Structure 1
Amino acid sequence: MKALTNNIQATLFGLSAVLLWSTVATAFSISLKYLSPTQLLLIANLVSLGFLVTLITFKGDAKELFTFAKRSWKTSLFFGAINPFIYYLILLQAYDMLPAQEAQAINYTWAIMLSFMAVPILKQRLKPTDYIAAAMCYFGVIYISTRGQVTSLEFSNGIGVVFALLSTVIWALYWLLNTKDKRPSLIGLTLNFAFALPLITLYAALTGELTHWNKEGLWGAVYIGVFEMGLSFVLWNQALKLTSSASRVANLIFLSPLLSIFWLSQFAGEPILQSTLVGLACILMGLFVQNWAKKAK
């Protein structure tokens, strides 16, 4: 009975996290109309750090946070440079150049990239289903990037597509290296944001983006900092702790891109492109094949 209750709670936590993640593309799209990617990242990082520190203090783990800050500052600086600094800077550049529906669909191929990068880093082997899943996902990327004109290979915005794909490399690298991180997950995430803050601030200063702020983009940045970079992680982490089947919770993530396109059409004024729907379907089928193979194994 307790296991059933925990699974129900895990599903609710997981659905809440997915619902929040599905709104992020809309928040990115709206905020980037008023703020540069660097400005958006700086505000969101600062807000997220405040949220996470408050949460840790409320839990009574502030002393542990300072202990790990002193003991593992090099690790925190290293991971903070990867995520959120480099990862979000590249991802936001992609969102700034591409329609949000295209950027977020391409970004979902990070799971496929993770499988291929695990070969040299974790010495894992690829299965035939990994190649099939990759072919389906990257065909979807090409279909989205060319707006359905696959044979012409004329990309709507080639640089934007490169940034979107590069973000999947950075994100996959972060999670692969994260398997060796010995810090508690919430403590580690908070320290990553803390040590990334001076890096982002310095970058913003060097690129002249500490001035000329547009106040209309601030609320979107605050929303991203609290919900995308903060609360959603806590909810997802809690879901994984409570569930008796991590794969069942993980499958909830498939709802996010579909909901995301709906929110974009309703609140960001982005017309839903047929090429995005077709390409996204290919990507989701590829991810499904990959997950199915893992379950079978």
Structure 2
Amino acid sequence: MSKLSNNTQAMLFGLGAVILWSTVATAFSISLRHLSPTQLLLVANIVSLIFLTTVIIAKGEAKQLISIAKQSWKSSLFFGAINPFIYYLILLQAYDMLPAQEAQAINYTWAIMLSFMAVPMLKQRLKTADYIAATACYFGVLYISTRGQIASLEFSNLTGVAFALLSTIIWAFYWLLNTKDKRPGLIGITLNFAFALPLITIFAGITGELSNWDNKGLWGAIYIGLFEMGLSFVLWNKALKLTTNASQVANLIFLSPLLSIIWLSQFAGEPILRSTLIGLACILAGLFIQNASKRNKHPK
């Protein structure tokens, strides 16, 4: 069998990451039945840190990790405080309050939020396509959060929706700041988890969540730390390094929410809501419009 081309390998790595991401909403849903958001994040963070550190050691970059940790401990603490600490606490609160299918669909609007936040932060300009995409996406959010009862504006759980939308702001803010981060990708994310660990532990101690653990939720938390916060990042990073067409790989992300709904119905016992399907279709349409606009502007 002939050797696979770099682009083919990139698509396979990207597909692997997307499939793993698609299972996360199910893992969140099942784990949060037994653990609080803080407990889930603490376990997942530890597992992810162990996995990523192991990968770095296997690559022979342990000395570089230590060196960069000493040089950039302030930025590592700052980035770690945003992601995973604050971001995942907010996101998991949303998943704890909403059906997972609703929380994950709303969370996918972070790309639209990124475009709007890039205006003041990176001095970028919005195009007509951005406004059209935003209208489609946030109509989808409204449809999902009211369970299709838009006229009455009766939200199924307004606080949960607010947490889900807030998570998109934090995630977009993190990635905009990340454009100025000089640390290598894998080492940078590993240091984020390392410096976030004491913050999460202190927070768990203050809120009294270092005790009263339900062991039934541990396997789900371990799965999230290993696959959502660990292996998926390594696979996605590898895909982007191998490909000569980043947009082609990025388009794989559209598969994730669709697969996610299937896993939720099959393994988490969540009935698929018609309002989620319609709202998600609007959100994906908006993201597609935004991506198509970027490809037209930068065809290469």
For the aligned pair, the TM-score class normalised by the smaller chain equals over 0.9
**Residue type matched to 1:175 in 2?**
W
Match of 1:151 in 2: 151
**Residue type matched to 2:24 in 1?**
V
Structure 2 CA distance for aligned equivalents of residues 277 and 123 of structure 1: 35
Partner deviation per Cα, 1:185-231 (whole Å, 9 max, x = no partner): 00000000000000000000000000000000000000000000000
Match of 1:67 in 2: 67
Structure 1 CA distance for aligned equivalents of residues 132 and 73 of structure 2: 41
1:18 aligns with 2:18: yes
1:44 aligns with 2:44: yes
Structure 2 CA distance for aligned equivalents of residues 272 and 103 of structure 1: 13
Match of 2:250 in 1: 250
Q: CA deviation at 1:65?
A: 0.4
Match of 1:85 in 2: 85
Match of 1:7 in 2: 7
Structure 1 CA distance for aligned equivalents of residues 80 and 292 of structure 2: 33
Match of 1:197 in 2: 197
Match of 1:184 in 2: 184
**Residue type matched to 2:80 in 1?**
G
TM-score normalised per structure 1: 0.99
Runs ≥4 residues deviating over 2 A: none
Q: CA deviation at 1:245?
A: 0.2
Contact between 1:3 and 1:244, CA under 8 Å: does it hold in 2? no
Unaligned segments of structure 2, at least 5 residues: none
**Residue type matched to 1:188 in 2?**
G
Match of 1:263 in 2: 263
**Residue type matched to 1:268 in 2?**
A
Partner deviation per Cα, 1:93-133 (whole Å, 9 max, x = no partner): 00000000000000000000000000000000000110000
Q: CA deviation at 1:3?
A: 11
Match of 2:137 in 1: 137
Q: CA deviation at 1:4?
A: 6.9
Match of 1:294 in 2: 294
Structure 2 CA distance for aligned equivalents of residues 202 and 141 of structure 1: 34
Structure 1 CA distance for aligned equivalents of residues 291 and 185 of structure 2: 24
**Which residues of 2 match residues 81-120 of structure 1 at below 5 A?**
81-120=81-120
**Residue type matched to 1:194 in 2?**
A
Structure 1 CA distance for aligned equivalents of residues 171 and 149 of structure 2: 28
**Residue type matched to 1:142 in 2?**
L
Structure 2 CA distance for aligned equivalents of residues 270 and 19 of structure 1: 19
Match of 1:125 in 2: 125
Unaligned segments of structure 1, at least 5 residues: none
Aligned length: 296
Structure 1 CA distance for aligned equivalents of residues 45 and 84 of structure 2: 8
Look up the SS of the partner of 2:5 in the other structure: helix
Match of 1:175 in 2: 175
Structure 2 CA distance for aligned equivalents of residues 58 and 240 of structure 1: 21
Q: CA deviation at 1:242?
A: 0.6
Look up the SS of the partner of 1:209 in the other structure: coil
Structure 1 CA distance for aligned equivalents of residues 15 and 190 of structure 2: 23
Let me know the Cα RMSD of the aligned residues.
1.0
Structure 1 CA distance for aligned equivalents of residues 152 and 140 of structure 2: 15
Structure 2 CA distance for aligned equivalents of residues 102 and 68 of structure 1: 39
Q: CA deviation at 1:35?
A: 0.1
**Residue type matched to 2:197 in 1?**
L
Q: Percentage identity across aligned positions? A: 79
